[in-house]
Amino acid sequence: MSTGITDPDEIHRVHHDGTAGDSLSDDIVDAVASLADTDPDDLPPLDSRINVAALDGLWDTGDDGHPSDGCLTFSYGGYAVVVRSTGTVFLRETGE
């Protein structure tokens, strides 16, 4: 996972490259915890917000070796999360 973090009022970008052994869902939890300056265990379970197996399936590749096109948006831990099937994740604080 690589993270591009800018100004706190901006959109934060994380890229899940699939090589570190972590799942996409684990990378999202870690990114939100980092941005919120909290321990991942202190966040609510991600599966209370979204189907984690479906989320992790966005990273699965098709027969051609490329992931299917798609985008998924949900809120988690005070952040709006936009996940692209390319592995790019955008996070923006919602203030909630």
CA–CA separation, 88 and 75 (whole Å) = 16
Question: Cβ neighbours of residue 13 under 8 Å, at least 6 residues apart?
Answer: 3, 4, 5, 88, 89, 90, 91
Question: Cβ neighbours of residue 31 under 8 Å, at least 6 residues apart?
Answer: 1, 3, 12, 14, 89, 91
Instruction: Evaluate if pTM is beyond 0.85.
Output: no
Structure confidence at residue 9 as a pLDDT band (50, 70, 90): low
Phi, psi (rounded to 5 degrees) for 42: -85, -10
Phi, psi (rounded to 5 degrees) for 33: -60, -40
Residue 92: Cβ-neighbour burial (10 angstroms; 0-12, 13-18, 19+): middle
What token pair was written down for 71? 């985008």
Q: Max alpha carbon distance in the chain (Å)?
A: 41
pLDDT tens figures, 43-91: 999 999 899 988 887 766 666 666 667 788 999 999 999 988 778 899 9
